[in-house]
Structure 1
Amino acid sequence: MPTSIRALISEGLRVGVIMAAGDAICQTFVEKRELKNLDVNRILKFGAVGVVYVGPVLKGWYGTLDKIVPKGSPPLNRALKKMALDQTCFAPSFIASLIGIFGLINGESIPAIQDRFRNDYFTILSRNYMLWPAAQVINFSVVPLNYQVLYAQFISLIWNIYLSMKLNDEKK
């Protein structure tokens, strides 16, 4: 198996485990469910999205950022440029895609997904801007490229609890 495929698979698996953990923590501590009442299918869905989508997409995005932002800049300037691209170009579309993906895997109709987008997108995006710019400056300035997705996913453990709460809210 080519190294690049192996890297995507391992990144996906790591991200999947962390996303599943985020959903399990959300169910346990935010929704106050007992362990025997956890929605295992929901945990598996959240993890599967990490394996097949989030992990590979982030791996590719961070690699792209590393190529398009000139390496000659001072490290902090380079990190700020990467963060600006990440938060203006990537984050808005990535959040929109997650709303759609989770709507589809949860069996929501297209109109329901559109409603969820109208109701939740800007709230999620604004919360994103409270956490991720600072986290990404640290990521892009001190974390080696091959560990950037892993670092981001550990920060994401908290973020995934929030996302799970928003994207699995059945009241919508």
Structure 2
Amino acid sequence: MLRWYQTKLARQPILTASVTSAVLFGCGDILAQQAVDRKGFDKHDMARTGRMALYGGAIFGPAATTWFAFLQRNVVLKSHKATIVARVIADQGLFTPTHLTCFLTSMAIMEGTDPIEKWRTSFLPSYKANLTIWPLVQGVNFSIVPLEYRVLVVNVVSLGWNCILSLINSGEK
């Protein structure tokens, strides 16, 4: 299975990351609805899960793949440690606020609600939650994980993170 995934990553990195992201964003929402909210499958909001999967596949997968390649090419300092720190700072200071803004506003648009209000009420809780998890994850990711596997690492950790994002987005903080 891993060899198959490696082949797909090598041949079609953005498509592979997009499909992986779609699946894991959707799974994160399923976890949020079933394991956390305990809705039961009869009351499961499939449209909500679909919106999460669509965002993961159409926006996050391609964006994260492109972003990690950009960091790899353009953020290179004299020492390995300084490079890692600079990449984490760039990731958390540039990519994360942009990603969260895209996530919250696109979810609001797909839900038919006010994107500005969604951003106002949800951005700060999302960003604060992000800062408790992702700087450490990305520090490890940027230091020891080869470029082609970084989106996969993010997607695996995102299984739980997307559950949190889905809960924040749905107003169930």
TM-score by length of 1: 0.89
Whole-angstrom distance in 1 between the partners of 2:99 and 2:10 = 22
User: Which residue is equivalent to 1:24?
Assistant: 30
Q: Which of 138, 143, 146 does residue 144 from structure 1 map onto?
A: 146
> What letter is aligned with 1:56?
P
Q: CA deviation at 1:49?
A: 0.9
Whole-angstrom distance in 1 between the partners of 2:172 and 2:24 = 23
Q: Show CA shifts across 1:45-93 (max 9, x none).
A: 211111111000000000000011116532x322111101101111112
Residues 1-150 of structure 1: pairs in structure 2 closer than 5 A: 6-70=12-76, 73-74=79-80, 76-108=81-113, 112-150=114-152
Q: CA deviation at 1:169?
A: 2.7
8 Å contact 2:125–2:168 — kept in the other structure?
no
Identity %: 25
Closer, same or farther: CA 4–100 of 1 in aligned 2, 3 Å:
farther
Closer, same or farther: CA 48–5 of 1 in aligned 2, 3 Å:
farther
User: Which residue is equivalent to 1:162?
Assistant: 164
Q: CA deviation at 1:155?
A: 0.9
Q: CA deviation at 1:35?
A: 2.1
Q: Bigger CA drift: 134-143 or 114-123?
A: 114-123
For the residue of structure 2 that corresponds to 1:9, the secondary structure is: helix
8 Å contact 2:34–2:41 — kept in the other structure?
yes
Whole-angstrom distance in 1 between the partners of 2:101 and 2:115 = 10
Q: Show CA shifts across 1:6-28 (max 9, x none).
A: 32111100011010000000000
Whole-angstrom distance in 1 between the partners of 2:145 and 2:172 = 37
- Where does the alignment leave 5 or more consecutive residues of structure 1 unmatched? none
Q: CA deviation at 1:5?
A: 8.3
> What letter is aligned with 1:98?
F
> What letter is aligned with 1:119?
T
Q: Bigger CA drift: 47-56 or 5-14?
A: 5-14
TM-align CA RMSD: 2.0
Whole-angstrom distance in 2 between the partners of 1:43 and 1:92 = 23
- Where does the alignment leave 5 or more consecutive residues of structure 2 unmatched? 1-8
Whole-angstrom distance in 2 between the partners of 1:170 and 1:31 = 9
For the residue of structure 1 that corresponds to 2:12, the secondary structure is: helix
Dislocated runs of 4+, deviation >3 Å: none
